[in-house]
Amino acid sequence: MKSVKQILLLIFMGISFHSMSQPEGYTPLTGTAKADIEKKITIASQKISSLQCRFIQKRTSILFVGEAVSKGLLFYKTPNSLCWEYTEPVSSLFIFHHENMYLKDEKGVVSSPNRMFKQLGNFIVSAINGKGLVSNDNFKTDYYTNEKDKNTAWIKLTPVSKRVKEIYSFILIKISTIDYLASEIIMEETSGDKTTIILLDKKLNTNIPESRFSIN
């Protein structure tokens, strides 16, 4: 269960950030440029009916030395079905389907998440379908681009609600300006812990059976 909790108390390293700074080498978008990227993200998200990919999760914590690495599979289907499955180093499962959420640990024990887990599950879904990247009441959204790397943009979500501020310093999402899909997510927690998730081999709009979103 610990590995599932880590992903929910995140979410996508390579660039050094500080809570009030901007990505090194990147400049913030304002005005029409900001409106343009928001529009493109919205249009791209509307074309997603499903997404599946592999992920690598890297977590650093002030409580231990080194980096904890986990691997697994992600399945998403509109409007709000999510299966986050860890396969290494242990098996565990998080499912969000038709407003219901379930956690299944490596021993096969199934439990229902609390309210905070549900809110985080909703955020994960909104990050995938793009809605949480353009408009989110819990965060201030900033976009950054680099003239030397026009195929990449960063989105920085800075908490504005008191509840979220207690958990996160900021969340960073790296997207491709070709398909406007996330490829990396970084969650910096107020505790000093950090989780990085890299999404690999993304496949869009393929058939995902309903059984993928069942806890059985």
In this prediction, residue 152 carries a pLDDT of 93
pLDDT for residue 107 is more than 50: yes
- Confidence grade of residue 12 (pLDDT, cut at 50, 70, 90): very low
174 within 8 A of 116, measured Cβ to Cβ:
no
Question: Average pLDDT of 121-139?
Answer: 71
Mean pLDDT of the chain: 81
Q: Which DSSP letter does residue 130 get?
A: S
Q: What is the DSSP string of 2-65?
A: HHHHHHHT-----S---TT---TT-EE--HHHHHHHHHHHHHHHHT-SEEEEEEEEEEEETTEE
In this prediction, residue 69 carries a pLDDT of 94
CATH for 92: 2.50.20.10
Flag whether 60 is in a domain.
yes
Would you call 132 helix, strand, or coil by DSSP?
helix
In this prediction, residue 71 carries a pLDDT of 95
Flag whether 147 is in a domain.
yes
pLDDT tens-digit readout, 25-77: 889 999 999 999 999 988 888 888 999 999 999 988 888 888 999 999 999 99
pLDDT tens-digit readout, 145-172: 998 888 999 999 898 988 888 888 998 9
- Domain assignment of residue 59, given as a range: 2-202
Entry pTM:
0.81
- Confidence grade of residue 13 (pLDDT, cut at 50, 70, 90): very low
pLDDT for residue 142 is more than 90: yes
In this prediction, residue 133 carries a pLDDT of 72
Flag whether 209 is in a domain.
no
Flag whether 207 is in a domain.
no
Where does residue 101 rank: exposed (0-12), middle (13-18), buried (19+ CB within 10 A)?
A: buried
Cα distance between residue 177 and residue 182, in whole Å: 10
pLDDT for residue 194 is more than 60: yes
Flag whether 31 is in a domain.
yes
In this prediction, residue 209 carries a pLDDT of 93
Q: How many domains does the chain have?
A: 1
pLDDT tens-digit readout, 170-188: 989 899 999 888 888 888 8
